[in-house]
């Protein structure tokens, strides 16, 4: 069996010795633990040993998902059999956290190679976008190897800033527009968020956002936060997440979750899964700084529904705490912060944003504008009636 020896690193701190099976890209053995406090959040460490299955799941979760649009063609171009193999090629480096793998006995350091302060190859991003590589020898040192999600996306450096460019899907290509209007809604409401702008390439819309993680911070997805303690049967997922955050010392988590529930209700977000919200910590001190700003809100506003179903909520799914948006928004502990008058005219902003789109015709644009206004009105009624619960 072909194996390679590595040290799992957290920035400059050695965490544990690893063996990686080269043909599959999976962790075949976990050796000595050097710094248990730096083991990724949510990965069990018992009697000085890391749970290898849990660490493997975390490692494989860093890879591009097999569901990514166009990934099979990209893997063929890259001459790589599976996305997990790409992880080893870029040493697991990411623009979401500070974990990486250092080849055993290698002198390289985080300061030598991290993507926050060093340029990275465009080859993988170009291939993921169907553009092919501009060089004969493809470089796999790219944060695109560790990007999550099913939509076409790539990292790039714009004016010295690490930015994520993300496409849309289907006939409407609506997700980029949704990201931008979601930014506008949260800006008006004073909700911490990642700001998205619109970019057109060959008439196709893309959303662009700056990385909200820096060389000093990291994102810990909600899924891993919820693994930090056992969930009791009588405790809801919503309350369990809040309990986990409070036990970790994450400040103001209930308020942040309230804001996320309200925004996702307004947007009828169908895919707020446990990997696209979470918390941010300082990677050096391990102090938890707070909830991550709200990001990744594109799968909303009836993005994949036919015109006849826009405004209809019967066919919509909901995550992460309830299956119905009407039920989930009732988990909001307080609406005292919410001033819906700040959203006056947001429909006009939507119409202006989508003007000239080759994918959204006039009827669809107008239907979404009307449905959004109705959504705001309905939320006002919910907030006024006091149907929220203090806990979930």
68-71, Cβ contacts within 8 angstroms, sequence gap of 24 or more: 68/128, 68/149, 68/150, 68/151, 68/152, 69/150, 69/151, 69/152, 69/167, 69/169, 70/128, 70/130, 70/152, 71/128
Structural tokens at position 67? 């569901």
- Give pLDDT, residue 360: 97
Q: For residue 168, give the 3-state DSSP assignment.
A: coil
Q: For residue 10, give the 3-state DSSP assignment.
A: strand
Greatest Cα-to-Cα distance within the chain, rounded to the nearest angstrom: 64
CB 50 within 8 A of CB 39: yes
- Give pLDDT, residue 130: 80
Q: Quickly list DSSP for 42-75.
A: T--EETTEE-HHHHHHHHHTTSPPTTSTTHHHHH
Residue 381 DSSP class: H
In sequence order, the β-bridge partners of residue 217 are: 282
Structural tokens at position 267? 């947007």
- Give pLDDT, residue 388: 43
Q: How far is CA 97 from the centre of its chain?
A: 12
Q: Cα separation of 100 and 106, whole Å?
A: 13
- Give pLDDT, residue 234: 97
Q: For residue 2, give the 3-state DSSP assignment.
A: coil
- Give pLDDT, residue 77: 83
Residues of the chain with pLDDT under 50: 387-392
- Give pLDDT, residue 81: 87
CB 270 within 8 A of CB 318: yes
Comparing CA positions, the residue from 96, 297, 289 lying closest to residue 193 is: 297
- Give pLDDT, residue 338: 98
- Give pLDDT, residue 69: 78
Phi, psi of 113 (to 5 degrees): -130, -10
Number of neighbours of residue 3 by Cβ within 10 angstroms: 13
Phi, psi of 329 (to 5 degrees): -65, -20
Number of neighbours of residue 86 by Cβ within 10 angstroms: 23
Structural tokens at position 348? 């006009």
- Give pLDDT, residue 75: 84
Q: How far is CA 321 from the centre of its chain?
A: 17
Residue with tokens 């990642």: 194
């Amino acid at each position: 069996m072909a194996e390679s020896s590595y040290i799992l690193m957290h920035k400059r701190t050695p965490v544990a010795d690893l063996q990686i099976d080269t043909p599959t890209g999976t962790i075949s053995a976990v050796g000595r633990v050097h710094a248990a406090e730096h083991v990724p959040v949510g990965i069990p460490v018992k009697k000085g040993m890391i749970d290898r299955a849990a660490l493997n799941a975390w490692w494989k979760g860093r890879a591009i998902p097999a569901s990514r649009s166009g990934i099979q063609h990209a893997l063929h171009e890259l001459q790589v059999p599976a996305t997990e193999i790409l992880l080893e090629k870029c040493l697991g480096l990411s623009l979401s956290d500070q974990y990486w793998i250092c080849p055993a006995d290698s002198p390289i350091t985080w300061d030598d190679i991290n993507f926050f302060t060093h340029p990275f190859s465009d080859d993988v991003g170009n291939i993921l976008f169907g553009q092919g590589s501009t060089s004969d020898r493809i470089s796999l040192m790219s944060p695109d190897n560790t990007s999550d999600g099913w939509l076409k996306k790539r990292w790039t450096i714009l004016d010295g800033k690490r930015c994520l460019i993300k496409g849309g899907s289907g006939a409407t290509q609506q997700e980029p527009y949704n990201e931008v209007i979601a930014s506008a809604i949260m800006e008006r409401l004073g909700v911490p968020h990642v700001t998205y702008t619109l970019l057109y390439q060959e008439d196709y819309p893309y959303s662009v956002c700056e990385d909200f993680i820096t060389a000093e911070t990291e994102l810990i997805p909600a899924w891993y936060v919820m693994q930090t303690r056992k969930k009791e049967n009588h405790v809801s997922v919503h309350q369990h997440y809040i309990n986990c955050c409070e036990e970790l010392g994450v400040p103001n988590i209930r308020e942040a979750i309230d804001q996320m529930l309200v925004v996702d209700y307004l947007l009828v977000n169908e895919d707020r899964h446990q990997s696209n919200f979470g918390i941010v910590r300082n990677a050096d001190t391990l102090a938890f700084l707070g909830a991550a700003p709200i990001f990744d809100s594109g799968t909303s506003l009836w993005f994949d529904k036919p015109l006849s179903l826009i405004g209809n909520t019967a066919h919509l799914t909901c995550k992460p705490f309830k299956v119905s948006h009407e039920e989930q928004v009732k988990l909001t502990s307080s609406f005292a912060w919410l001033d819906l008058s700040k959203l006056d005219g947001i429909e006009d902003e939507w119409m202006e944003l989508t003007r000239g789109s080759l994918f959204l015709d006039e009827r669809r644009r107008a239907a979404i504008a009307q449905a959004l206004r109705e959504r705001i009105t309905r939320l006002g009624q919910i907030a006024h009636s006091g149907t929220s619960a203090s806990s979930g």
